[in-house]
Amino acid sequence: MTLETAFERRSLPLEFPFGIARGTTTATEVVLVRITDGDDTSGLGAASPSSHYGETAATVSSVMPELLAVVEDVGDPHQLERLERRLRETVRRNPSARAAVSIALHDLVAKRLDVPLYRYWGLDPAETLETSYTIGLDDDETMREKTETAIERGYGTLKVKLGTDRDLEIVRTIRSVAPDVRLFVDANEAWSPREALRKIDRLAAFDVAVVEQPVPADDPQGLKYVFDRSTLPIAADESCVTLADVPRIADRCDIANLKLMKCGGLLEAKRLIHAARAHGLDVLCGCMTESNASIAAACHLAPLLDYADLDGSLLLADDPVDGVSMPNGRIDLAALDRPGTGAVLEAEFD
């Protein structure tokens, strides 16, 4: 089989500036990938690299020709195990670049079989979740306004970025306008272990459901210290990058947070989910600020998850890719009326 490949780099503006403890962004750079078979059936994927993990759109673009050469050499998109192994052997780093190719391959395979990806995997679309919607760091009034907008749009689960000297005031502000939502908080490694425990004890009064990555990833003992003493569930994000990290965090958190852009592909994501289950962990699938070209694929993992934080495309001012419907934040796989991941690019590559 002959496969044709192409990729394109795009900058997508965010609806609002997006702040976390490490800084604020106003746009996200993605690299779209297309793989087309001899019948003109195309699979679409995208990388949304993070400099925190050593990737940029430039590094993704630099390695993409090597990765796509592997796809063209193998020639059969249905050989997904072989392809993802070859991709890992070819490019050890740049996991988001490999994830983009993995997503495009899965999209193509499911389209060739004329089924949605969840059905290809044998999953029940009714077993789905509500994604959280993230409120990025900003001044109190702006965070209040963002929260009011989220509530008006019907989102029932919010994730609030913390990691400042006014964290409790931020949560108090959020709760003042959203008293009934399910609330997650994410410190993005910003707290020391003792600071984390002090804040968690006070956050419990605000009915917080999950505390994500309270301490730096390079302090596993600190994470253990917090987990052993916390009154709230702890999710590991920056501490859980690849499948190999799962046994390392198993006694240090309640929830493993996977991201396609961290682990490098859909097959690896499913392995990570099963490994987390084997270690007694709940599973959350998160994302970067991303296009539907990658978010749509992650949505098909929903029946395997306990939590979803797949709002990456919802944070964009405009997404050139349509994806899986999320009315009021609910991932609606059953409403998907097309095969593959559901990602559809509005305009062809330049």
**Residue 24 belongs to domain with CATH number:** 3.30.390.10
Collect all residues with Cβ–Cβ distance below 8 Å to 152 and sequence separation of at least 6: none
Considering the domain architecture, whether residues 77 and 135 belong to the same structural domain is answered as no
Q: Please, is 347 exposed, middle or buried when counting C-beta atoms within 10 Å of its C-beta (0-12, 13-18, 19+)?
A: exposed
Note the pLDDT of residue 350.
Answer: 63
The 157-161 sheet, strands edge to edge: 133-135, 157-161, 182-186, 208-212, 234-236, 255-258, 282-285, 307-308
Domain of 276, in residue numbers: 120-345
Residue with tokens 């063209």: 72
Considering the domain architecture, whether residues 76 and 127 belong to the same structural domain is answered as no
Model pTM score: 0.97
Q: Please, is 260 exposed, middle or buried when counting C-beta atoms within 10 Å of its C-beta (0-12, 13-18, 19+)?
A: buried
Would 336 be classed as within a structural domain?
yes
Note the pLDDT of residue 192.
Answer: 98
Nearest CA-CA partner of 284 in 121, 114, 132, 144: 132
- pLDDT tens readout for residues 45-72: 999 999 999 999 999 999 999 999 999 9
Considering the domain architecture, whether residues 318 and 264 belong to the same structural domain is answered as yes
Q: How far, in Å, CA of 39 to CA of 305, rounded? A: 34
Is residue 285 within 8 A of residue 309, CB to CB? The reply is: yes
Q: Which helix (H) or strand (E) holds 299?
A: helix 292-299
What's the whole-number mean pLDDT along residues 154-169? 97
Would 211 be classed as within a structural domain?
yes
| Domain termination site, one of 97, 115, 133 | 115
- pLDDT tens readout for residues 313-325: 999 999 999 999 9
**Residue 229 belongs to domain with CATH number:** 3.20.20.120
Considering the domain architecture, whether residues 321 and 241 belong to the same structural domain is answered as yes
Considering the domain architecture, whether residues 39 and 177 belong to the same structural domain is answered as no
Considering the domain architecture, whether residues 152 and 222 belong to the same structural domain is answered as yes
Distances from the Cα of 187 to the Cα of 14, 33, 165, 171, 312, angstroms: 21, 32, 11, 12, 18
| Domain termination site, one of 86, 115, 144 | 115
Q: What band does 21 get if pLDDT is binned at 50, 70 and 90?
A: confident
Would 303 be classed as within a structural domain?
yes
Backbone angles phi, psi at 33, to 5 degrees: -125, 135
Note the pLDDT of residue 8.
Answer: 97
Considering the domain architecture, whether residues 165 and 220 belong to the same structural domain is answered as yes
Would 204 be classed as within a structural domain?
yes
Collect all residues with Cβ–Cβ distance below 8 Å to 29 and sequence separation of at least 6: 9, 10, 11, 12, 48, 49, 56, 57
- pLDDT tens readout for residues 188-224: 999 999 999 999 999 999 999 999 999 999 999 999 9
Considering the domain architecture, whether residues 192 and 250 belong to the same structural domain is answered as yes
Question: What residue type is assigned to position 258 of the chain?
Answer: L
Would 149 be classed as within a structural domain?
yes
Enumerate the β-bridge partners of residue 33: 7, 45
Note the pLDDT of residue 64.
Answer: 98
Considering the domain architecture, whether residues 162 and 30 belong to the same structural domain is answered as no
Is residue 111 within 8 A of residue 103, CB to CB? The reply is: no
Is residue 116 within 8 A of residue 300, CB to CB? The reply is: yes
> How many domains does one find in the chain?
2
Backbone angles phi, psi at 225, to 5 degrees: -60, -45
Helix-helix angle 140-152:167-177, to 10 degrees: 30
Considering the domain architecture, whether residues 63 and 136 belong to the same structural domain is answered as no
Would you say residue 346 has pLDDT above 90? no
Q: How far, in Å, CA of 28 to CA of 122, rounded? A: 33
| Domain termination site, one of 88, 115, 142 | 115
Would 350 be classed as within a structural domain?
no
Q: How far, in Å, CA of 308 to CA of 302, rounded? A: 7
First CA to last CA across the chain, in angstroms? 25
Considering the domain architecture, whether residues 92 and 235 belong to the same structural domain is answered as no
Would 85 be classed as within a structural domain?
yes
Considering the domain architecture, whether residues 35 and 99 belong to the same structural domain is answered as yes
- pLDDT tens readout for residues 239-270: 999 999 999 999 999 999 999 999 999 999 99
Would 229 be classed as within a structural domain?
yes
